[in-house]
Structure 1
């Protein structure tokens, strides 16, 4: 379990740090801003999770997470042109981070002895809060406000992991299933515009 948590944690931090640097590049900011966006996007979701769970904040206990974010922010300064030539790089990298962190947040919550419902909620918070911070600082519309699936993949991914693990499935198979389902749903939203029906106010017939 501990190894799985650390791998998912580093994966989530790294890919969200990449999305922060991509946003900084699109705003035509300097190298230090690349690092700033990479750090705050990378550690944002996990920080919220740990604060809500009254657990030691992961990057305060282990500074290697900050080193990873700083290194990624600096590296992206040099490799942004080929990255941006890829199709929808920001959304796909964000989807990878969302999938990994939805399971990571749920798994860590369960490991601390909290109930399954709390674990699913913490999985969603961990997966989405870094992106919210990134978009808010950049002054861009949050993905949460778009009709395509965003919260739903995180919720389902965390739910699949928690459900399988609670029924006795080993941590790694449960984690792989949760990440795969979350990434599949988010990928469908990116490629096909998958979305749930939005609220429609009743017509005023007066």
Structure 2
């Protein structure tokens, strides 16, 4: 069964997808599709790369939570949009949690540490990539303007290192998630950006 933290992260990511559907003037079905793939897309991609049945198709919670998020946004999207600063904080927490959990799962299935880090990042940001592609946007990952993928990569790297050192799973997950969460919040607070190629101006 999914944990409360998993479901909370899924709900926040699904809310992001449903709000994107509102901005794109999609109907409720389109909103639900964006909510679902934003919430669980990264985990589905990770599990497919590992070669196992995606957890999203084994646990009904992965389906019901995006549906619930879609319903909330459908009826109260102006109010939800006003809560975006708080939602972004929870989104940062979900980013940290998912990059750590995704990395550990990949390690448990025998992947090398670098590959596990890659899948940890995929778990954290894959849903956002699918959301952007399905809604006709260039994936924000390709111009990481607010250091979204970078915190996930560093958190996943710490998770892989701590796991290899034999640290307790819960402690390692907390440490890695906290690192990614903190870096993401600092990036939002101070407008940190990933570097561009020399001579290229910032994209707005």
Shorter-normalised TM range: 0.7 to 0.9
Show structure 1 runs of 5+ residues with no match. Answer: none
Match of 2:162 in 1: 164
Deviation at 1:201, TM superposition (A): 6.0
Task: Please state whether the residue corresponding to 1:198 is helix, strand or coil.
Answer: coil
Deviates more, 1:182-191 or 1:49-58: 182-191
Q: How does 1:141-160 map to 2 (within 5 A)?
A: 141-144=138-141, 145-160=143-158
Match of 1:12 in 2: 9
Task: Please state whether the residue corresponding to 2:197 is helix, strand or coil.
Answer: coil
Say whether residues 1:99 and 2:102 are aligned partners.
no
Aligned pair partner of 1:59 in 49, 56, 59: 56
Larger radius of gyration: 1
Match of 1:35 in 2: 32
Deviates more, 1:174-183 or 1:12-21: 12-21
Say whether residues 1:128 and 2:128 are aligned partners.
no
Deviates more, 1:104-113 or 1:136-145: 136-145
Aligned pair partner of 1:82 in 54, 79, 84: 79
Count, aligned residues: 199
Looking at structure 1, the residues matched to 193 and 135 of structure 2 have their Cα atoms a distance apart, in angstroms, of 25
Match of 2:187 in 1: 189
Q: Is the 8 A contact 1:44 1:133 kept in 2?
A: yes
Aligned pair partner of 1:25 in 22, 25, 31: 22
Say whether residues 1:73 and 2:67 are aligned partners.
no
Looking at structure 2, the residues matched to 87 and 72 of structure 1 have their Cα atoms a distance apart, in angstroms, of 14
Deviation at 1:30, TM superposition (A): 2.5
Q: TM-score, normalised by structure 1?
A: 0.85
Looking at structure 2, the residues matched to 135 and 63 of structure 1 have their Cα atoms a distance apart, in angstroms, of 25
Deviation at 1:182, TM superposition (A): 0.5
